Amino acid sequence: MLKKILVANRGEIAVRIMRGCQELGYEAVAIYSEADRLAPHVRKAQEAYLLGPAPISESYLRKDKIIAIAKKCGADGIHPGYGFLAENADFAEMVIEAGLTWIGPPPQAIRLMGDKVAARETMGAANVPLVPGIGRSGESMRDDELVAAAEGVGYPLLVKAAAGGGGKGMRRVYQAEELPAAIRGARREAQSAFGDDRVYIEKLIQDARHVEIQVLGDTHGNLIHLGERECSIQRRHQKLIEEAPSPVIDEKLRQKMGAIAVAAAKAVNYCSAGTMEFVLDKAKNFYFLEMNTRLQVEHPVTEMVTGVDIVKEMLRIASGRRLRYKQSDIQVKGWAMECRIMAEDPANNFMPSIGKIIGLTNPTGPGVRLDSGIDYGIEITPYYDSLLSKLIVLGDTRGEAIMRMRRALEEFRITGIATTIPLHIQLMNSTRFQAGQIDTNFLERNFTFNQMPDSELMQAAAVAATLLAHQRNQQAILLHQGGPSPWRLYGRREALDRRIR
């Protein structure tokens, strides 16, 4: 039975997991780098331990230190969150070998699904529809072999890292003469990001939508799906807005995709939370993209529309409990939307923004949820991912969710650094986005960020500046006309003495 959980992560996801732990009566333990001493996740935990310097290679990626801290503080299990070591099968095995509970899927499932080529082969054997492509698991195809195979796949295509994720090691290729350079570039990036330069090629589905299915399974063989999420609003393969359900998925297609996702998860003996990602073409044909063997950044939208607390279910599953839900219990109610608030400047080519947060107003109101890893006065450093907070709203309809999100974004004020809030507001005002006419290339082809000055904000700023200037003038006058100096008091005393004499 779990009683104390070490959260091997930082930021908003660490805070989110700690809340789940505390609602189940578990103690939550934080780890932190020197740059995160004052971070919200450190203050949220019952105990917190220093890992090391700010760079992740010396802190959040130190498997040995994390496990040593867990044993030292008496933790029963480790939850990895997402990113960092969440999909590292070696770390999962180390946790288990140390006598601790790994709060996630089995290491063998992580390893199998972490190799994109092996995952394709496994899913193909389970009759999951695949995007046409070529690659060999367990070995690296030579550049000339990939070039020769590309003709059979057909252009346009994608060169993808076999060990990839997050858009790294990925190149689009539209013509044969571009392919050799794309392969070399993808290999270099994959080697740098994952220590593995293997790549494969896959047909590029034009104007595709990114739709994923959340699955949840226990150690007793029970597996269900929690419906779909639409994640098509992306920039450089990084998601910016997610919603549940998808505007183009009907109940029949939802059940079909869900059944295939569950079958795919069963093929690898999966348990815990996981996500099957698919691309959907214009004819609503869907193809397996990859499986994420962890908690997803966008899990809150599924929680909002199904009422299932995915983090708490992961903790229960790790304790050996059976799923509390059957597939017939899962009903999608309402419409949820999530905006990822990043420390990036959309007006300056999304340049990362660092600095101190000197002003913070969080949005509130009906149907608004904020999963945040920031607080007033903390420093945003260049060492970690730029995700600050996730703003999630729930409405009865998609239209209401969009209106509610726009209102919440306008309430959300972060001062001291640039953020993507203005971009999200403009997206909420986009008629094409409102109509659900989106795909993974929407930001590149159908949208131009143009931050127009808000006349009301400019007027308020001018009034504030005027008041501040007036206040400073008053302070200067009061300072000049302050209490009498000792010399003046001495002069008055001398004059009074002369009168008395």
Claim to verify: residue 10 and residue 81 sit in the same structural domain: yes
pLDDT grade, residue 479 (50/70/90)? very low
**pLDDT, position 219:** 96
Claim to verify: residue 12 and residue 80 sit in the same structural domain: yes
| Count of the separate structural domains present in the chain | 3
Query: Whole-prediction pTM value?
Result: 0.86
Residue 423 has pLDDT above 80, yes or no: yes
**Is 244 a member of any domain?**
no
Claim to verify: residue 145 and residue 89 sit in the same structural domain: no
Claim to verify: residue 97 and residue 13 sit in the same structural domain: yes
Q: Which has more confidence, 463 or 153? A: 153
Please give the structure tokens belonging to residue 453: 């000055």
**pLDDT, position 484:** 59
Domain that holds residue 163: 132-203
Please give the structure tokens belonging to residue 457: 């904000």
pLDDT digits (tens, 9 = 90+) for 327-368: 999 999 999 999 999 999 999 999 999 999 999 999 999 999
The percent of residues in the chain predicted with pLDDT above 70, rounded, is 90
Q: What's the mean pLDDT when you consider all of the chain?
A: 92
Claim to verify: residue 85 and residue 160 sit in the same structural domain: no
d(CA 48, CA 164): 32
**pLDDT, position 449:** 86
What is the average per-residue pLDDT within 306-325? 97
Of 59, 85, 103, the residue that ends a domain is 103
**Is 246 a member of any domain?**
no
- DSSP secondary structure letters along 298-313: THHHHHHHH---HHHH
Of 203, 222, 241, the residue that ends a domain is 203
pLDDT grade, residue 445 (50/70/90)? confident
Claim to verify: residue 152 and residue 83 sit in the same structural domain: no
Residues 218-224: contacts with CB within 8 Å, 24+ apart? Answer: 218/271, 218/317, 218/321, 218/322, 218/323, 219/271, 219/317, 219/320, 220/322, 220/323, 222/322, 222/323, 223/262, 223/265, 223/266, 223/270, 223/271, 224/262, 224/323, 224/325, 224/326, 224/327, 224/330
pLDDT digits (tens, 9 = 90+) for 43-63: 999 999 999 999 999 999 999
**Is 120 a member of any domain?**
no
Residue 454 has pLDDT above 90, yes or no: no
d(CA 185, CA 171): 8
Angle at 430 between CA 428 and CA 436, to 5 degrees: 85
**pLDDT, position 490:** 63
Instruction: Name residue, tokens 């939850």.
Output: 79
**Is 215 a member of any domain?**
no
Q: In a 3-state reduction of DSSP, which class is residue 335?
A: strand
Of 176, 203, 230, the residue that ends a domain is 203
501 is catalytic: no
What is the average per-residue pLDDT within 431-444? 94
Most confident residue range from 165-169, 277-281, 492-496: 277-281
Q: What is the CATH number of the domain that holds 81?
A: 3.40.50.20
Claim to verify: residue 96 and residue 138 sit in the same structural domain: no
Of the residues 294, 340, 398, 404, only one is catalytic, namely 294
Claim to verify: residue 18 and residue 57 sit in the same structural domain: yes
**Is 381 a member of any domain?**
no
pLDDT digits (tens, 9 = 90+) for 162-180: 886 767 889 999 999 999 9
